[in-house]
Structure 1
Amino acid sequence: MPELPEVETVRRGLAPAMEGSRIGRLELRRADLRFPFPPGFAERVSGTRIVGIGRRAKYLLIDLDSNETVVAHLGMSGSFRIEQETENELPGTFHHARSKDEKHDHVIFHLERAGGSMRVIYNDPRRFGFMDLLPRVDLDNYPALRQLGPEPVGNALDAEGLAVRFAGRSQPLKAALLDQSNIAGLGNIYVCEALWRAGLSPKKPAGATVTPTGRPKRELFELVDAIRAVIADAIAAGGSSLRDHIRTDGTLGYFQHTFRVYDREGHACANPECDGTVARIVQSGRSTFFCSRCQK
């Protein structure tokens, strides 16, 4: 599933084409994705102007001048592509096979702007993604968003805030970081990478990073720095092109080429001061990759 850097990459790719454009028509080629489309979806969106493209955790937020917001989630295989109305070829070079069968093109935004018409097409072979529409003022109470913790970018995430959430918790650090109520948008890949950068074991109890008086220990400050750094690096590189994730320009992200532990079972630890080997364990049904020698 695309994680926060992939979704941020999609947002940045869509913004130049979509922001300021008028949606001449919203074409729905089926009645549902993971969930049914909201009542009157096409009619409510068609004719509006897009005033901004935002993101919260792994959700895209398309703000309309009707004061409504389209909430979109990519699921496992969802992606957007941008096409000029006069062109049918998908731009970019692909490293992995990608379906061009139009039966997987489920939602098409027909856009009108000063530079000409274009289409933004949502393709989703597995149909695990979804789109919803709601008044912008109701976003904070939207079920998928209201329980989310702070974003791992900017200044919202800090060690003091995590200490409050982690204090007294025996839950493994890996599971605590995947809990979206603690930090929004972190997924399996970047949790593994951040824990390696911070030198912390994924099996370490979350509460062990907090003092008896509730203050963050030094390692929790280092973990926050590692999370921010790995997310920033991944966004700069365009995200991770695992499985079906493709950027809006048709190319794939390359952050997977700099993974230090994720999916590197049996490889030497990338820490030049460590002679350990990357191991794989299963935690809560998810693969965890780490070096037991330098992650304590």
Structure 2
Amino acid sequence: MPELPEVETVKRGLSPAMEGARIERLELRRGDLRFPFPANFEDQVCGRTIIGLGRRAKYLLIDLDSGKTIISHLGMSGSFRIEQGPVSQTPGDFRHERSKDEKHDHAIFHLEGKGGERRVIYNDPRRFGFMDIADRSELQNNPFLFGLGPEPTGNELSAAYLAERFAGKARPLKGALLDQKNVAGLGNIYVCEALWRAHLMPARAAGTLVTKTGKPKEPLDLLVASIRSVIADAIKAGGSSLRDHIQTDGSLGYFQHSFSVYDRESLPCRTPGCGGTVLRIVQAGRSTFYCPDCQK
């Protein structure tokens, strides 16, 4: 499933084509994805101008001049592509073959803006993605967004904040970080990478990073810095194009070439001077990759 850096990459790729454009027509080629499309979806967006694109956790937010916001989730295999004229441009050194079957093009935004007409097409072979629409002033109460924790790159995420969330908790550290109520947008790949950078064992109890008085221990400060750095590096590299994720221009991200532990089972640890070997365990049904020598 695309994680925060992938969704951020999609947002940045779509912004030049969508921001300031008028939605002339929304073409829905089926009635549902993971969930049914909102009632009267076409009527709510047609004729509206897109005033901005945003992101919350793994959700893409498309703000309209009506005060409404389209909420989009890519699911497992969803992607957007931009077409202008009869040709779909897909530059990039690494390319992922897009579905050419029209049955996978489920929603098409026909736009008019600077530079003429264009189409932004949502393609989703597995149909695990979805779209919703809500009043922008009520987004915090939307069922998909309600209760999400702070963004991993925002000022609200701090060692003191995590100490408050982790205090007294025997829950494994990896599971605590994947909990979207603790930190919004973190997924399996980047939690593994952040824990490696912080030299922390994924199965370690979250509460062991907090003192008896509720203060963060030094490793928790390093963990926060590691979360920030791994997300920033992945966004800069264009995300991690595993399985179905592709950028809006069709090219793959490059961060997968920089993985230090994820999907590197039996390979040497990349911590200088470590000499350990990356292992894989399963936690809550997901693969966890770590170095038993330098992660404690």
> Structure 1-normalised TM-score?
0.98
Matched with 2:232 is 232
**Within 1, Cα distance between the matches of 2:211 and 2:118?**
56
Matched with 2:257 is 257
Structure 1 segment 98-177 matched on structure 2, within 5 A: 98-177=98-177
State the Cα distance separating 1:187 from its structure 2 match: 0.1
**Within 2, Cα distance between the matches of 1:133 and 1:154?**
25
State the Cα distance separating 1:57 from its structure 2 match: 0.1
SS of the residue corresponding to residue 177 of structure 1 reads helix
> Partner letter of residue 222 of structure 1?
L
Contact 2:96–2:246, Cα closer than 8 Å, also in 1: no
Which segments of structure 1 move beyond 3 Å, counting only runs of 4 or more? 93-97
Contact 2:234–2:255, Cα closer than 8 Å, also in 1: yes
The number of equivalent residue pairs is 295
State the Cα distance separating 1:147 from its structure 2 match: 1.1
Structure 1 segment 265-276 matched on structure 2, within 5 A: 265-276=265-276
SS of the residue corresponding to residue 138 of structure 1 reads helix
**Within 2, Cα distance between the matches of 1:281 and 1:98?**
33
State the Cα distance separating 1:87 from its structure 2 match: 2.0
Summarize deviations over 1:9-39 as a string: whole Å, max 9, x none: 0000011110100000111010000000010
Summarize deviations over 1:221-269 as a string: whole Å, max 9, x none: 0000000000000000000000010001111101000000000000000
**Within 2, Cα distance between the matches of 1:92 and 1:136?**
34
Matched with 1:51 is 51
**Within 1, Cα distance between the matches of 2:99 and 2:105?**
10
Summarize deviations over 1:157-204 as a string: whole Å, max 9, x none: 101000000000000000000000000000000000000000000011
Q: Which moved more, 1:114-123 or 1:258-267?
A: 114-123
Matched with 2:19 is 19
Matched with 2:287 is 287
**Within 2, Cα distance between the matches of 1:99 and 1:188?**
26
Matched with 2:91 is 92
**Within 1, Cα distance between the matches of 2:149 and 2:72?**
19
Q: For structure 2, which runs of at least 5 residues remain unmatched after alignment?
A: none
SS of the residue corresponding to residue 183 of structure 1 reads coil
**Within 1, Cα distance between the matches of 2:67 and 2:104?**
29
> Structure 2-normalised TM-score?
0.98
SS of the residue corresponding to residue 44 of structure 2 reads helix
Summarize deviations over 1:61-99 as a string: whole Å, max 9, x none: 100001101000000000000000x22334224543331
